[in-house]
Amino acid sequence: MMTLIAEPLTIETFREYGSIISPDEEISRLHSLRKDANQGTAIKLLQVSSVENGSSSKVPNWNLFRCFPQSHLKRAFLQESPQGVPHKIKVLEKHPCSSQTFVPMGRASTEVAYLVVVAKEIANKPDLSTLRAFTCLGGQAVTYGLGIWHAPMIVLGEQEHLDFAVLIYESLDPERPERDCVEEHYGDSGICITV
């Protein structure tokens, strides 16, 4: 069994696996790619996250996920340091034909709200030597790059649930579902993440 300690999500630490939308971090670091908008009542940050489509038969689509924390993760977490709560990952998945963006809805932007676990690929399998785990704030959205292995969404915190708006390219034709999801299972031993 492999054990990994979750770290705080930042634009730089996640760059190898996709991109994130983190308004507070973007505003503080990007001066050249921002401009005033809405007659001066807003700041527009340009090109903060890319969406990828590897199939001409798929179209961009928004889905909603209502995710619930598992009982051992239903508690307050701090962003500064791991709290020592173990969590087992039993499956990693990838979408070879689309990136996938998860936008959290309904949490404070500074609250630790969810956990992402990602890995690159080697020989059509997750490369566990590249496995990383990140604690994410309620104001941070994550875009998994095309073909990046990741755990299903893991909600943290004391609230009953967390909603995500999810952007993905997929077939909308019920006659041609063309599933774009590949899974790798790790059984009961799993991969242990310390949150």
Structure confidence at residue 188 (pLDDT) = 83
Mean pLDDT for the chain?
88
Strand order in the sheet with 86-89: 2-5, 191-194, 86-89
Structure confidence at residue 58 (pLDDT) = 86
Q: Can you tell me the distance from the alpha carbon of 191 to that of 186, in angstroms, rounded to the nearest whole number?
A: 7
CATH C-level class of 2-21+50-194: mainly beta
Residue 157, token pair as written in the block: 């915190």
pLDDT in tens, 22-53: 888 877 766 656 667 888 788 787 778 888 88
Q: How confident is the model at residue 133 (pLDDT cuts 50, 70, 90)?
A: very high
Domain boundaries, the chain: 2-21+50-194
pTM above 0.75, yes or no: yes
Per residue in 139-157, is it b (16+ CB within 10 Å) or e — as a string? Answer: bbbbbbbbbbbbbebbbbb
Judge contact between 121 and 94, C-beta under 8 A. yes
